[in-house]
A and B are shown apart, each in its own frame.
Chain A
Amino acid sequence: MPALGADMEAGTLVEWLVKPGDRVKSGDVVAVVETQKGAIEVEIFLEGVVSNILVPVGARVPVGTVLAQIDGAPGAAPPLPLEPAAAALKPAPQILAQAPPMPAITAPSSRLKITPAARRRATALSLDPTMIVKGTGVEGSIRLADVETYASGAKLAQRPAKKGLDLSQMRQAIAAAMSRSKREIPHYYLTETVDLNAALTWIERFNAEKTPVERILPAVLFLKAAALALREQPQLNGAYENGAFIPSSSIHVGWAISLRGGGLIAPAIRDADKKSLAELMGAMRDLVERARRGNLRSSELTSPTVTVTSVGDRGAESVTGIIYPPQVAIIGFGRVVTRPWVVDGRIETRPLVTVSLAADHRVTDGHIGGLYLAAVGRLLQEPDKL
């Protein structure tokens, strides 16, 4: 059972997607587990043959429990007895903890075609509509009748449905992680006001030449600037574990996504500093869609090396984050506001954003943090170079 966050102690195996004898390769999704953050798809990062399923569907087991045995996988962990107290202290098996692959990016054109009534009915039945191979509506869209037909068939009985997101459990998980953070991490906080005139003017020109699916949001520039600035201040990118800071050579940004009805999750956009703006927009779009649908993968929750949050155009003017352990920093972008601003000795109206940094005093101090925020502001003045 992989640890999918600092706050996770156990998970429930809700579905196996492989059986003994199946050949698996790196990147395959082999199981679905239910956590306080919803259903998460568990990937595997080795190649071999499934020889033994050790945890049955429905079992709740502690983090670290070996879920299955893979033969022919070099370095795979041997099966462990199911002893909750002891297993909880063991690290996650190698087959689940290695560096994960880059998540696939999908354009919205690949979105499931389903009518609202059908989607609501599927939700009520705890039925994943993607399991319906082809609908009978226009262009193969799934209609209400397709859901009813599928629900009454044998397939539903054969594949256990994923449990819906329990917001009260997610709230408990967030509270546990944030309480631990505030208890263990000596936070310090800095803010910087950044003039976005150049960035928004650039986006306006960029988007004017694009079709809707190719356009980008200001948050993409925020994300790229935040990632690139971490190259200049790498002490803000990594993990604090066992009394020491472990810097990360890669910049995997946990992008904070609010879930409808409440709750928050921050899956990783891997190598965010190396991605183009178009790739980042695609990654954000994909993560938002899958986070809200409950189709995130285990690797996306375990790999962030820093968190970035942007509250968008309906959020507050500034956001002061709480670090997600074992990370050592969180960067926040508030709502863009138009305010008086002094430019070359004259007062002008300018679009402004408040950029905040909450960082771990065990690793850095305000000097480093200030340099980081200055770098973010500087990068946003040259959007064409992002």
Chain B
Amino acid sequence: MTDAEIRALILELIGEIAPEADLALARDQDDLREVFDLDSMDFANLVVAIHDRLGVNIPEAHYNQLFTLECAIAYLHDALTQPKQNDG
């Protein structure tokens, strides 16, 4: 999965969780929670959705590595290339 595909998937999932979100506002360095007004339940649902779609089980201690698109893409890129460490 390319970084562009990961980016598109993250935005697609955010679009499902927060349908009102204007996904065009997404810039890679911005805090997703601020840009899309995601609360803690939304963020938990994003982690669930990533697990459902990619099989990546993100530990709670790593949530802060998903706060920006740039970090989330890098995290998922690594996780997908090392599936045994993250698959859960």
Contact = CB atoms under 8 A, between A and B. Distances in A.
A289 to B, nearest CB: 8
A144 to B, nearest CB: 12
A219 B41 CA distance: 10
A215 B59 CA distance: 10
Nearest to B20: A260
B48 A312 contact: no
A258 interface: yes
B19 A123 contact: yes
Given A208-B60, A211-B51, A211-B88, A116 B23 contact: yes
Interface stretch (A18-26, A69-77, A106-114, A225-233): A106-114
Nearest to B14: A116
Contact of A212 (B12, B23, B39, B51): B51
Interface residues of A, number: 28
Interface in B1-55: 11-12, 15-16, 18-20, 23, 33, 37, 39-41, 44-45, 47-52
Interface size class of B (residues with CB under 8 A): 20 to 34
A350 B20 CA distance: 37
Contacts of A211: 51, 57, 88
A285 interface: yes
Contacts of A120: 19
Given A123-B19, A211-B57, A314 B44 contact: no
Interface string A164-188: 0000000000000000000000000
Interface in A193-215: 204, 207-208, 211-213, 215
Interface of B: 11-12, 15-16, 18-20, 23, 33, 37, 39-41, 44-45, 47-52, 57-61, 88
